[in-house]
Structure 1
Amino acid sequence: MAAAFLTHLAPGRVRVHSAGSAPADGVNPAVVEAMKEVGIDISAEIPKVLTADAVRASDAVITMGCGDACPIFPGKRYLDWQLDDPAGRGVDAVRPIRDEIEKRVRGLIAEILPEEHR
């Protein structure tokens, strides 16, 4: 959800990679539905494994509780967003998680992009 919001809210102004330390086989249908409610279609997304190369190529790494499973490299900016996991939850439980992620992504955009690029 965070990658989708960042891509949607800052199109062409940031490059986003989305991956997980233990990705599911597919995107949670409740997450797809919740994102569709805010006009973002993630139905074609495929969960990917987080690689050291992807972290190495990033300026900032946003994690959501991956702990020691995530590669750490000096000089990278890391933010660990402690959020409820939407796995196995229905759309009613996913909506507040989605809304919190959107709030954090908007804050990140305000922090990393100069005003004229927002």
Structure 2
Amino acid sequence: MISFLITLQRMLRAILKGLKEPEFQVLLTLTVFTLISGTIFYSTVEGLRVLDALYFSVTTLSTVGYGDFSPQTDFGKVFTMVYIFAGIGIIVGFVTKIFELTTKNKIESKQKKAQKKSSLE
């Protein structure tokens, strides 16, 4: 549990730092827009509750796909096919950027510790 909290803390730090970078801002905006558009579509066309529609959007784009929800209309199935191909690229880009920022922060932290240690010697 402690390792999970440490990892979560590192990820949140990276996200906060990333908010200053234009590339991260664009990826975050695209990710949020993609999830909102999927949520709106599935709640209106497929008749899902908003929370269920968001849940379905997240599980679809994260490629988890539990199978508890699926599009029932032909229009919903066509939308989902397009949504998957467009959305997965955006989500992968966003997650990759978070990973890069987390790794960068970890490296910078180690460098600072090494500089402190060398300055004390």
Q: Same fold (TM over 0.5)?
A: no
Structure (1 or 2) with the greater helix fraction = 2
Higher relative contact order (CA 8 A, sep 6+): 2
Structure 2 length as normaliser, TM-score?
0.27
Structure (1 or 2) with the greater strand fraction = 1
Rg comparison, structure with higher value = 2
Structure 1 length as normaliser, TM-score?
0.28
